[in-house]
Structure 1
Amino acid sequence: MEKGLTYTSKTTVCKENTALTVGSGDMEVFATPALVALLENAAMNAVKPYLPEGSTTVGAMIQTSHIKPSGLGEEISATAVLEEVEGRKLTFKVSASDSKGIIGEGIHIRYIVDRERFLSKL
């Protein structure tokens, strides 16, 4: 796994991913939990093609800002760039933007895990 792997995930702000609907606020703007999920999705997909058979990644930590609101109909792009690889630990720089610019950014850590072994802990 090499530094610099990147992926961009996109979504459009709709009623289902607003703060009002998900319960994180009371306005029809892109919800912070939806932003976090989109950032995690970008990180997961950045490394997915390079994982060993039977492996996946799981999110362990995300530290992010959500600095600007995005309204209904706005397209959101979230990009993750692999910054550091330490064994199974992967550290990503993440950022998200809409048509007006950056709406959030931060750091996300994921770990490579064996799917079966991970699920056996349930």
Structure 2
Amino acid sequence: MDTASVTHVVGPDDTARALGSGDLDVLATPRVLAWLEEATCAALDVTPEQTSVGTRVDLEHLSASPVGAQVTATATVVHTDGRLVRFQVVAQDASGTLLASGEVRRVVVDRERFLARIAPVGD
């Protein structure tokens, strides 16, 4: 099973107030999700011609974290079906408190072919 973790310290730019997802100076759910997705990307072994795109998220944000808290986001591959990869994700603080948990799905794609399908804005 492929697993990867990333660790960040909650800063003022990571808060619900800063990201517009609330008005408190605590770790914002969108930032938790971004860190968890960062871990999913780190857990994938793709060629330089490939990348992955997120397709589905199921996330519970269970506990608040103040500015200055250290948060570790971990993603573990739990299922692969062709290009589809499902990850179990968890975020914990330095004391081991579970902050968030859920599942993230990503699809491995050919980088150039994927970008070729995207029309530039204004076209």
Larger Rg: 2
- Distance in 1 of aligned mates of 2:115 and 2:99: 34
Computed over aligned residues only, the root mean square deviation of the Cα atoms, in angstroms, reads 0.8
Q: Is the 8 A contact 2:72 2:94 kept in 1?
A: no
Instruction: Determine whether 1:84 maps to 2:79.
Output: yes
User: Which 4+ runs in 1 deviate beyond 6 A?
Assistant: none
65-74 or 52-61, which deviates more: 52-61
- Distance in 2 of aligned mates of 1:53 and 1:72: 36
What is aligned with 1:105?
A: 101
- Equivalent position amino acid for 2:99 in 1: I
What is aligned with 1:68?
A: 63
- Distance in 2 of aligned mates of 1:66 and 1:45: 21
- Distance in 2 of aligned mates of 1:53 and 1:38: 22
Structure 2 gap ranges (5+): 119-123
Question: Residue 9 of structure 1: CA displacement?
Answer: 1.0
Q: Which whole-Å deviations, capped at 9, do the CAs of 1:20-68 have from their partners, x for residues lacking one?
A: 0000000000000000000100001101xx2133001111111010010
Q: Is the 8 A contact 2:27 2:64 kept in 1?
A: yes
TM-score (norm 1): 0.93
Give % identity.
35
What is aligned with 2:38?
A: 41
TM-score (norm 2): 0.92
- Distance in 2 of aligned mates of 1:58 and 1:45: 13
**Paired residues, what number?**
117
What is aligned with 2:6?
A: 9
Question: Residue 99 of structure 1: CA displacement?
Answer: 2.6
Report SS of the residue matched to 2:68: coil
Question: Residue 119 of structure 1: CA displacement?
Answer: 0.6
What is aligned with 1:118?
A: 114
Structure 1 gap ranges (5+): none
